[in-house]
Amino acid sequence: MEILHSLHGPGFALVALLILWYLNHQCRSNINYVLAAALAIGIGVVSEIAQIPGDRGAQIQDLFVDAQGIFGALGISASLDRNIRSMIPTWARLVLPALAVAALASVCVPSLGLAHALIQQKNAFPTLLSFESSWETAAVGPIHGQQPTLVAAPVDWPGDGPTVARAVEDGQWRTFLVLHPLPDWTGYEKLRFLAASAGEAFSMRICIRDWEPNMRNSRLQYCKSMQVGPLPREYSIPLSQIQAGAKVPPFDFSRVQAVAFSAAKPGSNREILIDDIRLEK
């Protein structure tokens, strides 16, 4: 779903160009740029309204991304159009393509970065997060709070890598981090990770979601609380336990959607150190 979300800008840039091509094919006119932009924006608005009944809902931010892609594509096209160039002053001939390229790059570069991250994530599997590479931030969704930061591993840390993640509890939802893993966990026996509290011990809650059979929405299927203290240790959850505790059995391990780490009870800016989240057989 994240890769689809990241393609909003490039996708609507293509939509705008296709509309412009169609309008020019019918009747070539400078007003076609305005019509193409208006129609593309209209399609974006309708697509967001259509999402309101669903799990994700409408996102105003998506419309801004759509508009950037539309402006970038049509701006570059207009800067290459002789009719448009003859109508605008010299300074505008320089400014328009520069702004258009910047707008298009701002929506295309994140998509390329996420595509690279997904390739690296696939290569690293069954390690879900090692917190050793910058690409991994694309697999961690700042759904309600901030992204975890990479810090040097404590001297007594049992993991092999030089860095671990330091995550701060989000005030509203008590979330430390939300992981969007590769979805197919079939054939594995347990979820394993290293963790420690950055202060006093507290109860941490892990929740896992899969997809409904009709593939329309994700569903919260399993939650487990465990005590996390200042001494680092390994934690593991057998997948058989997840299956047995599924709220709507069976748990679909071929379509795992998210793994959320949060505080089980309200607190105040608690922090955890977490590392080496992986599946094991």
Q: In this structure, what DSSP letter does residue 139 have?
A: G
Check if the beta carbon of residue 70 is closer than 8 Å to that of residue 16: yes
Q: Is the dihedral of CA 11, 13, 16, 21 positive or negative?
A: negative
At residue 125, φ and ψ (nearest 5 deg) are -55, 135
Residue 111 φ/ψ, nearest 5 degrees:
-65, -40
Phi-psi region of 215 (alpha: psi -120 to 50; beta: other; left: phi over 0): left
Amino acid at 58: A
Q: How far apart are CA 148 and CA 142, in angstroms?
A: 9
CB neighbour list of residue 2: distance below 8 Å, 6 or more residues apart: 114, 138, 141, 180
Please give the pLDDT value at position 144. Answer: 45
Task: Please calculate the CA angle 39-42-44 and round it to the nearest 5 degrees.
Answer: 115
How many whole angstroms separate alpha carbon 202 and alpha carbon 226? 8
Q: What is the 3-state secondary structure (H, E, C) of 225-257?
A: EEEECCCCEEEEEEHHHHHHCCCCCCCCCCCEE
Q: What is the pLDDT of residues 45-65, one digit of tens each?
A: 888 888 776 555 567 778 888
Q: Which pLDDT score is estimated for 212?
A: 74
Cβ count within 10 A of residue 8: 24
Closest by CA position to 204, among listed 182, 178, 236, 227 = 227
- 110: amino acid identity, one letter: P
**For residue 56, what pLDDT is reported?**
54
pLDDT of residue 183: 85
d(CA 133, CA 56): 29
Q: Which residues of the chain fall short of a pLDDT of 70?
A: 1-6, 53-58, 134-135, 137-146, 171-173, 213-217, 267
At residue 275, the pLDDT reads 93
Looking at residue 191, its pLDDT comes to: 96
Q: What is the pLDDT of residue 149?
A: 84
Helices (H) and strands (E) in the chain, counts: 7, 11
Residues 247/248/249/254 CA torsion (nearest 10 deg)? -100
